[in-house]
Amino acid sequence: MSDPQPPRPGAQGSDPDVAIEQPGAVSSAATGTRPRSVGADASTGGTPPAGRGDVEPPSRWHTTLQRITTGNAAISVLSVLLALLVGAVMIAFTNERVQETSAYFFARPGDTLAAIWDAVSGAYSALFQGSVYNFRRDTFVAGIRPLTETLTFATPLIAGGLGVGLAFRVGMFNIGGRGQMLIAASVAGWVGFGFDLPWGLHMLVALIGGLIGGALWGGIAGFLKARTGAHEVIVTIMLNYVAFYLVSWMLRTPGLLQAPGSSNPKTPAMQDTATFPDLRPQFNLHFGFLLVIVATVVVWWILTRSSLGFRFRAVGENPNAARVAGIDVRAMYVYAMLISGALLGLAGVSQVLGTVTTGFTAGIDAGIGFDAITVALLGRSTPWGIFAAGILFGAFKAGGFSMQAAEGVPVEIILVVQSLIVLFIAAPPLVRTIFRLPEPKPGGPREGRRRPRPVVTKEVEAK
Site residues, another protein (CB under 8 A): 9-11, 90, 94, 173, 175, 224, 227-231, 233-235, 237-239, 241-242, 245-246, 248-249, 253, 370, 373-374, 377, 409-410, 412-420, 422-423, 426-427, 429-430, 447-448, 451-457, 459, 463
Q: Which is nearer to another protein, 177 or 288 (CB)?
A: 177
Q: Which is nearer to another protein, 151 or 224 (CB)?
A: 224
| In the complex, least distance from residue 412 CB atom to another protein, rounded to whole angstroms | 4
Q: Which is nearer to another protein, 45 or 454 (CB)?
A: 454
| In the complex, least distance from residue 90 CB atom to another protein, rounded to whole angstroms | 7
Q: Which is nearer to another protein, 137 or 446 (CB)?
A: 446
Q: Which is nearer to another protein, 278 or 447 (CB)?
A: 447
| In the complex, least distance from residue 314 CB atom to another protein, rounded to whole angstroms | 20
| In the complex, least distance from residue 87 CB atom to another protein, rounded to whole angstroms | 9
Q: Which is nearer to another protein, 207 or 336 (CB)?
A: 336
Give the CA distances from residue 4 to residues 8, 121, 427, in Å, rounded to whole numbers and listed in that order: 11, 45, 23
Q: What is the 3-state secondary structure (H, E, C) of the chain?
A: CCCCCCCCCCCCCCCHHHHHHCCCCCCHHHHCCCCCCCCHHHHHCCCCCCCCCCCCCCCHHHHHHHHHHHCHHHHHHHHHHHHHHHHHHHHHHHCHHHHHHHCCCCCCHHHHHHHHHHHHHHHHHHHHHHHCCCCCCCCHHHHHHHHHHHHHHHHHHHHHHHHHHHHHHCCCCCCCHHHHHHHHHHHHHHHHHHCCCCCCHHHHHHHHHHHHHHHHHHHHHHHHHHHHCCCHHHHHHHHHHHHHHHHHHHHCCCCCCCCCCCCCCCCCCCCCCCCCCECCCCCCCECHHHHHHHHHHHHHHHHHHCHHHHHHHHHHHCHHHHHHCCCCHHHHHHHHHHHHHHHHHHHHHHHHHHHCCCCCCCCCCCCHHHHHHHHHHHCCCCHHHHHHHHHHHHHHHHHHHHHHHHHCCCCCHHHHHHHHHHHHHHCHHHHHHHHCCCCCCECECCHHHHCCCCCCCCCCCCC
| In the complex, least distance from residue 39 CB atom to another protein, rounded to whole angstroms | 27
| In the complex, least distance from residue 328 CB atom to another protein, rounded to whole angstroms | 17
| In the complex, least distance from residue 336 CB atom to another protein, rounded to whole angstroms | 17
| In the complex, least distance from residue 47 CB atom to another protein, rounded to whole angstroms | 22
Q: Distance (Å, rounded) from C-alpha 88 to C-alpha 261?
A: 48
Nearest Cα neighbor of 45 from 445, 339, 417 is 445
| In the complex, least distance from residue 423 CB atom to another protein, rounded to whole angstroms | 5
| In the complex, least distance from residue 429 CB atom to another protein, rounded to whole angstroms | 6
Q: Which is nearer to another protein, 8 or 286 (CB)?
A: 8
| In the complex, least distance from residue 456 CB atom to another protein, rounded to whole angstroms | 6
Neighbouring residues of 444: CB distance < 8 A, sequence distance ≥ 6: 27, 29, 30, 31
Q: Distance (Å, rounded) from C-alpha 456 to C-alpha 316?
A: 10
Q: Distance (Å, rounded) from C-alpha 439 to C-alpha 447?
A: 9
Q: Which is nearer to another protein, 40 or 417 (CB)?
A: 417
Adjacent-strand bridge partners of 442? 444
Q: Distance (Å, rounded) from C-alpha 15 to C-alpha 86?
A: 22
Adjacent-strand bridge partners of 278? 286
Q: Which is nearer to another protein, 92 or 356 (CB)?
A: 92
Q: Which is nearer to another protein, 272 or 412 (CB)?
A: 412
| In the complex, least distance from residue 463 CB atom to another protein, rounded to whole angstroms | 8
Q: Which is nearer to another protein, 51 or 448 (CB)?
A: 448
Q: Which is nearer to another protein, 318 or 419 (CB)?
A: 419
